[in-house]
Structure 1
């Protein structure tokens, strides 16, 4: 499991890392709507937090594209996956390793 360093409470919002929710992706057309509703709720609870989405497969944006869009900005990745399988152990770390400067 990756450790995430604690950020001071007095850190300016503009310097806070983005939150990137990592969803699997699905062929079910209801899934993107459910994920969007969840992220909207997070945005509601944490105004000013840059909340983004990256999918492992099947739906856009794909995780590598979401990470590329951040440029050199820091991010905290939150897997929205049911288990700690191949995607968590391999796909997510590989996408992070290939990102510009995360």
Structure 2
């Protein structure tokens, strides 16, 4: 039986350290409430790991969840393109 997919939370990215801490605290809470779920973070810019690097570091499949405030260009265009580029085959 294969392992369950990891949750890859994709955040916008910020130069503000408090913004990075906030995203990490949110994901720590997800990990606390779902201890069997692998939860990783990727950033669309300004912070590492990038989406391609985060996906490459995962040993198996992932479900990407955008942590964005609106369904704008990043959700409709950037993220689907990054995920398609990383898809096998």
Residue 70 (str. 1) matches residue 62 (str. 2): no
Large movers: runs of 4+ above 3 Å: none
Gaps of 5+ in 1: 1-11
Output the aligned Cα RMSD: 1.7
How many angstroms apart in 1 are the aligned matches of 2:88 and 2:6? 13
Match of 1:54 among 19, 23, 42: 42
TM-score normalized by structure 2?
0.91
Q: How many corresponding residue pairs?
A: 89
How many angstroms apart in 1 are the aligned matches of 2:86 and 2:10? 14
- Pick 1 or 2: higher relative contact order, CA cutoff 8 A, min separation 6: 2
Gaps of 5+ in 2: none
TM-score normalized by structure 1?
0.80
